[in-house]
Amino acid sequence: MKFSEYYKEQIKVIRERDPSIHSDREALLYPFFWAMWSYQKAHREYLKGNFYKARKISQKAARKTGIEIHPGAEIGEGFFIDHGHGVVIGETTIIGKNVTLYQGVTLGGTGKEHGKRHPTLEDGVMVSAGAKVLGSITVGENSKIGAGSVVIRDVPPNSTVVGIPGRIAKQDDVHVPRLDLNQVDLPDPIANMIELLKDENETLKQTLRILEKQQEDDRVRIDRNSQAVSELESRLQLTDGAGI
């Protein structure tokens, strides 16, 4: 791809994802712009088997941009990294179309696997700032990974993952638009579980209060019955004594 073609392509992607851009020339100031340009050159060398040259290109770009993309990674069209510093993409990572990453994201391995050891992100996935997606797992299309999450298991399509370790909070299998880049208003399954436990605890406390009231009523009733029996026995004794 010629630089002019790449430039036009990236302007379209950046304008689609980042509302802060005011002019086309600003695309040249994005670290992601130069990281991806270098990645494309490095990836071509990698496919030719020129691994040293490929890594040399990628490492030079990493030092300049703060974004480390292994030349062996497979990246689809429409890919975008916002801000970008601290992003690491491993060798066997596969990224689909229209995927968005934010700063500090790691698409890494677990250190124990051989062969395919990095994640696969399907089309339309968004990975928020500081999230870590580790191992040979698949994040289904149109899914969101919340900021700071650590994902180590497969994620179904149209899902949201939050927490450490990442927990899936399904959105009723409703399709999530690929331009929905909201990183804030995400489901929180832990908070939801705490609220559920609080509700259940309150229900148990109310039930306990009812049982305690019933127990007190029963105790009072038993005391009254015992008193009545005692009074009856006393009367009977008096009656028997009078008869004698």
- Output the DSSP codes for 44-98: HHHHTT-HHHHHHHHHHHHHHHSEEE-TT-EE-TT-EESS-TTEEE-TT-EE-TT
Strands 138-139 and 120-121: parallel
pLDDT digits (tens, 9 = 90+) for 152-176: 999 999 988 888 888 887 665 554 4
Burial string for 169-194 (b: 16+ CB within 10 Å, else e) reads bbeeeeebebeebebeebbebeeeee
pLDDT digits (tens, 9 = 90+) for 217-235: 888 888 888 888 887 777 7
Beta-strand (E) ranges in 164-206?
Answer: 167-170
Q: What are phi and psi of 162, to 5 degrees?
A: -140, 155
Distance CA 10, CA 8 (A): 6
Q: What is the pTM of this model?
A: 0.68
Amino acid type, 55: R
Residue carrying structure tokens 């004794």: 237
Confidence of residue 74 (pLDDT cuts 50, 70, 90): very high
